[in-house]
A and B are shown apart, each in its own frame.
Chain A
Amino acid sequence: MGAPVATPPSASPPGRNPAPSGKAAVEGSATWRLSDRIGLAICWALGLLFCAIAIAIVVYLLIQGIKYLRPSMLVTPASAGFAQSETGGFSDALVGTLIVAVMGISMALPIGIAIAVWLVEYGRPAGLARITESTIEAIAGIPSIVLALFGTVIFSSTALGFLSRASGGVVFGRSFFAASAMLSLVALPLVVASTREGLQSIPRHVREASYAVGKTKAATTRRILIPASRPQIATGAMLGLGRIIGDTAIIVVLLGATQNFAPVEGASFPFDYLRGAGTTLTNFVYEASPTGNLNQPQKAYAAAFVLLLMVLALNAAVDAVHRRARKVGAWSS
């Protein structure tokens, strides 16, 4: 990466430097020593192994998904029953995943962009900037189960009782609000890192041109810099979404151990559900696996397949954004 000033004129779009070695004159491995050639063979073997694992995961889940997924599962909520045919589907989990994704990212995105803007455009005093950088890095390294436990402390406090179910002075502390807030912390480092990368890739002269026509720094940021780094922001948001959708520990701890929505009585429409406990696909897969409480492997496969499709869609979206950004091209400096 490095400073944007130092990028040579022929630089490709940010983060996509071409392979450094001269590919033009590729030397074959025939002249290498045996040990080097064994190393190259290990490279090939591991590379193919990675591909094989990925293909195995996709194909296996595809087969199981086609075998066990019924469209009715997507629209029926889970219910109690003895056989797997009686226990309904996982519509609540599906909707729960969407709610958590939307709420989580809509908290992480503004905060993440703001932090990135402050780091790149302001960053004074330098000490605070360094502390902030380490903080973001630290948040990326914190296990999500610890975030979840911390969430139980915050959201069980009486002051935040309006965000979850409260009865008789005891705050339950498990709700979509609680889970989404903690999940936004999981997505935050990804949003910050990728927005920062976008802002840093904008050359200095673009800002100077904007100042020269009398725009303030704030206006420049809002009108020029953030729109220009939209591809990177979108990438960060989608990476963050992927983490939010895929996180299980926070959901298991902070969304209450239910398989259905448990709206809070007496609250008005969206808030009764958002304040109540619920479930998501990851939680459903966890509970429906043989080690969970439900033990319905077929449903678990079906839900995992849906989850995997979401992840694949997000990956494809990231790729599309990258490709478009590359086509539009980098700043000429």
Chain B
Amino acid sequence: MEDSYPQEYGPRWSDRRVEQMLGALVCAVVALLLAMIVIVFIKGWPSFAHNGLAWFGPGGNVDDQLNAIFLSGQAGAEYIYTFHAWPLIWSTLLITGGATAIALFSALFVTVFIVEFAPEWMSNVLQPVVRFLASVPSVIYGLLGVLVLVPFIGNHLVSESQKASVAGVISLSGYSVLAAVVVLTVMIAPLMVSIFSDGLRSVRPGWLEGSLALGVNRWRTTWKIAVRTARPAIVAGTVLATARAIGEAVMLAMISGSVGFAPNPADGAIFVFEPSRPLAPTIVKNIDQLSSPPANATLFAIATVLLFSAAALSLTGWATRRAMRKYGATA
């Protein structure tokens, strides 16, 4: 059989061989991902095993705990694993949730604007702008945040009385949930816009024309027909942007304040000015502690949580898109 192939490059490039080689490569990449999930989980397991579900709960000062964990790995003493990550998790939820909500709102409007309502010149300007904003490295956003936004918040938005009111607990210097949310929103909204607009453009013109022919105005047609049909793309974009937000480490390490503190919305609006530190920046901040076995396990446990949240997000997105497929929409 082998001989019946027209062989331009000799047997080395026969179709079957090429298919097998490519298949092997694909399998290797899949295996690499699986290996990563397994290895990260195994490495982090001691931390989960020692703390149980309390790992995710509140209790004590996270920074002190991290420090104790690190030190216990050095002297040859018994390893300490006690770690209650709630302040970090809460900070992640707060910052990611806030940024995703604001970004989703603004990205939807901007997408609709670019695709439907902007005059030609405006959409010709906006498209490169969105692409540019999406491609600015996160460290530049972090630098601008730390040198422009943080001092502005610290000097102008937070009043002296507010600073005094929490002086015993935490210092309000501008490194805050607010700064983190604002910069993160600017980072992820363009990502959403670029995916949303692909979806919005692929809506069948006939559906829109049908709606317009019934006398529905363009605004309503866009929102009721186009945006609804493009929902799978909206879910896909939101999932990707949220995953990026959860995993953003360096920018947030620069501007979120780097204190293991859980801002409490019950304290009133002041909580947006309070510093905190999400999960991913915690890894960056403590990266030089990898040599201490218990600290190593703790950092990998944090990475496991990040990995599984990212996986859970894409799974949710996939399931949602699947459920929406019956509307005949594509993403």
Contacts and interface: CB of A to CB of B under 8 A. Distances in A.
Contacts of B307: 142-143, 146
B40 to A, nearest CB: 6
B113 A47 contact: yes
B135 A249 contact: no
Contacts of A215: 6, 8
Contacts of A119: 26
Interface stretch (A72-80, A267-275, A286-294): A286-294
Given A40-B219, A242-B135, A289-B142, A115 B250 contact: no
B249 A143 contact: yes
Contact of B208 (A20, A140, A242, A315): A20
Interface string A111-132: 1001101110010100010011
B39 A128 contact: no
A82 interface: no
B159 to A, nearest CB: 23
Contacts of A315: 128, 131-132, 135
Interface string B194-227: 0000100111110011001000011111110010
Contact of A40 (B8, B14, B117, B131): B117
A153 B118 contact: no
Contacts of B117: 40, 43
Given A2-B202, A132-B26, A219 B136 contact: no
A131 B129 contact: no
Interface residues on A, range: 35 or more
B205 A21 contact: yes
Interface residues of B, number: 103
A330 interface: no
A279 interface: no
B250 A27 contact: no
Interface stretch (B60-68, B78-86, B260-268, B282-290): B282-290
Contacts of A128: 23, 26-27, 30
Given A118-B23, A248-B137, A19 B115 contact: yes
A331 interface: no
A299 to B, nearest CB: 11
Given A54-B129, A285-B143, A307 B137 contact: yes
A328 to B, nearest CB: 21
Given A46-B110, A54-B132, A1 B198 contact: yes
